[in-house]
């Protein structure tokens, strides 16, 4: 696998740094119950994650079921946001290797950022709950800008915030959404093999390498 010499590394959150499906699924089930809809399993919700909360809610309401109206979707999103504020961080855990690797990256003088499609309001509280927030220099959520991944704008915005060029950045994610965002941004990208990727095998995605643990990132940094 090739090596990289970044000054900044941007990480996706759900499915890359943390396994958040238990909390997302619980909030989704509470939302569905409130709306009088059939429930969903953790496994189903895992395939709905990746393109932000509105898309996840729409999938929870409609996949294998009837399409939902814009009004119904808005009700679902509002209910999910309310319930997720309560469940966020309760059952989410950092993946093995994350807590060990982040401080070692900081010791090397690297700037670190989170670029996720999760709503910005939920990012810092979740990482603070896990004791990881202090390692990061910026948090960019799916609603921070007018556009979200796979549009390149969030990564470009991250580069501006951290004062690095695109050539000096690296993206680490878990999905084709992350890979496409990085490709469009002109930034190399590595994908974790254990993430969600909307139910698609991650080894089929266009990326610069695969990692089975975040600790595997360290030997790749020149």
Q: What is the mean pLDDT of the chain?
A: 97
Share of the chain above pLDDT 90, in %: 96
Q: Is 174 annotated as a binding residue?
A: yes
Q: Is 19 annotated as a binding residue?
A: no
Helix (H) or strand (E) holding 62: helix 53-62
CA dihedral 194, 196, 201, 205 (to 10 degrees): -100
Whether 8-20+92-220 shares its CATH topology with 21-87 is answered no
| Catalytic residue, candidates 12, 19, 23, 208 | 12
pLDDT the model gives residue 199? 83
pLDDT the model gives residue 198? 87
Q: Give the closest residue to 159 by CA, choosing from 184, 135, 138.
A: 138
Does 151 qualify as catalytic in the annotation? no
Model confidence at 34, in pLDDT bands (50, 70, 90)?
very high
* Stated pTM of the model: 0.94
pLDDT above 90 for 43? yes
pLDDT above 80 for 1? no
Q: pLDDT (tens digit, 9 = 90+) per residue, 50-99? A: 999 999 999 999 999 999 999 999 999 999 999 999 999 999 999 999 99
pLDDT the model gives residue 177? 96
CA dihedral 172, 201, 143, 83 (to 10 degrees): -120
The domain segmentation of the chain, as residue ranges, is 8-20+92-220, 21-87
Q: Is 14 annotated as a binding residue?
A: yes
- CATH class belonging to 8-20+92-220: alpha beta
Write down the CATH number for the domain with range 21-87: 1.10.150.240
């Amino acid at each position: 696998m090739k090596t990289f010499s970044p000054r900044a590394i941007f990480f996706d959150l759900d499915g890359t740094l943390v396994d958040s499906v238990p909390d997302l699924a619980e909030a989704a089930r509470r939302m569905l119950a409130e709306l009088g809809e059939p429930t969903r399993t953790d496994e189903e919700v895992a395939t709905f994650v990746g393109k932000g909360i509105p898309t996840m809610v729409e999938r929870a309401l409609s996949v294998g079921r009837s399409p939902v109206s814009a009004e119904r979707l808005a009700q679902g999103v509002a209910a999910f946001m309310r319930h997720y504020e309560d469940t966020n961080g309760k059952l989410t855990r950092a993946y093995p290797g994350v807590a060990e690797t982040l401080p070692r990256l900081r010791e090397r003088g690297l700037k670190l950022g989170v670029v996720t499609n999760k709503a910005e309001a939920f990012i810092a509280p979740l990482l603070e709950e896990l004791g990881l927030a202090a390692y990061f220099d910026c948090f960019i959520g799916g609603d921070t800008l007018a556009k979200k991944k796979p549009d390149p704008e969030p990564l470009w915005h991250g580069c501006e915030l951290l004062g690095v060029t695109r050539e000096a950045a690296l993206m680490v994610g878990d999905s084709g959404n992350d890979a496409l965002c990085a490709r469009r941004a002109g930034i190399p990208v590595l994908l974790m093999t254990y993430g969600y990727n909307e139910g698609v095998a991650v080894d089929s995605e266009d990326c610069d390498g695969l990692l089975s643990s975040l600790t595997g990132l360290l030997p790749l940094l020149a």
